[in-house]
Amino acid sequence: MPLWPALAAGQVQPPIRVESALVSVPVIVGDSQGRFVPGLTAEDFRLYQDGIEQKIDLFATSDQPTNIALLLDTSRSTVSVLGKIKKAAGQFLSQMRPQDRATVVTFDSEVRLLSPLTSDRERLEEAVKSAQVAYYEGTKLRDAIVEVITRRFKQLDERKAIILLTDGDDIGSVTPVSDLLDLVADSGTVVYSVYYRVDPRQTMKRLFGVSSRLPSRRDSPSAARQTEGEQFLKGLSELSTGRVFASEVGKLKKAFEAVSEELRHQYLLGFYPDRSELDGLVHELSVSVEKPGAIVRSRRFYRAMPRR
């Protein structure tokens, strides 16, 4: 049974599994005014599986390193906006803390690694600048996320985050939605989606040098795909304890600033479930904080896969 059935309807390919004994639980703690609550310790948290309290075996604060994957949509639909996307991504990288590492990946008809995980800002910024719009049609969004989690973030127990810059469309991925959602939930990776809408008339003009006379309609096929993509990104981000930011392309900087601020206030808890509980089933997770008025956002479930 998929972890997010409403988003996963109709997908039937073999599942992807993450088989790690450690269950990672990213946590964001705020107050009623929307302010982050810093300075908490492991003793301030209570972690539960199926209502039963668990021993916290891993605790990481916001002061510790974060591994960040910056995923840029370079499909043909971005031809009129890629310059602004690259500028905003470069500004985000310039705000990285010295202890953080990042990798830059683009996706279109192919998934391309432009920079491996590194704390070298200059190398990362050059990688972003090198991103180019694809020649062939395709937007392998789901496959790009799988690439990062199963290869770039493999065997990392530190804090991990994926930042997606995309219009949410997926064309050509071989990864089923259901398997992707299971993978994201099991990996402990937080996904932030920076979503923007692309005017297909501008795309036509840049690609073919012609202006479409068709009005931009909310009931058009392209508008329907964008709405579907936005809903997928929202579900993906909520599933992973992340957020989705809808932004105009010219205002991406503000969305990136919000992501940066949240990453600086993220806690990471982890526990090792009893071997008898590695049953392949979905288990509920919950986190509470021993602080009056604290509001907790955390991972809500995981699939307990036995180790081979």
Using one digit for the tens of pLDDT, what is the confidence trace for 281-303? Answer: 888 999 999 999 999 999 888 88
CB distance 3 to 301 below 8 Å: yes
Nearest CA to 140 out of 179, 113, 174 is that of 174
What per-residue confidence (pLDDT) applies to 250?
Answer: 74
∠65-67-69 over CA atoms, to 5°?
A: 155
CATH number of 66-263: 3.40.50.410
* Mean pLDDT of all residues in 211-221: 53
23-62+265-303, which class in CATH? mainly beta
Q: pLDDT digit string (tens) for 174-214?
A: 999 989 988 998 888 999 999 887 654 444 334 334 454 55
Q: What is the DSSP string of 181-245?
A: HHHHHHHT-EEEEEE----HHHHHHHHHS----S---TTSHHHHHHHHHHHHHHHHHHHTT--EE
Kindly state the helix (H) or strand (E) to which residue 163 belongs, with its residue range: strand 159-166
What per-residue confidence (pLDDT) applies to 215?
Answer: 54
Give me the chain's average pLDDT, please.
84
**Residue 100 exposure: Cα atoms within 13 Å on the Cβ side:** 23
Q: Which amino acid is at 170?
A: D
∠93-206-105 over CA atoms, to 5°?
A: 30
Q: How confident is the model at residue 13 (pLDDT cuts 50, 70, 90)?
A: very low
**Whole-model pTM?**
0.83
Enumerate the β-bridge partners of residue 113: 105
| Residue ranges matching CATH 2.60.40 in the chain | 23-62+265-303
Q: How confident is the model at residue 17 (pLDDT cuts 50, 70, 90)?
A: very low
| Residue ranges matching CATH 3.40.50.410 in the chain | 66-263
* Mean pLDDT of all residues in 146-159: 91
What per-residue confidence (pLDDT) applies to 201?
Answer: 41
Distance CA 250, CA 81 (A): 9
Tokens of 72: 């840029």
What per-residue confidence (pLDDT) applies to 280?
Answer: 78
What per-residue confidence (pLDDT) applies to 307?
Answer: 59
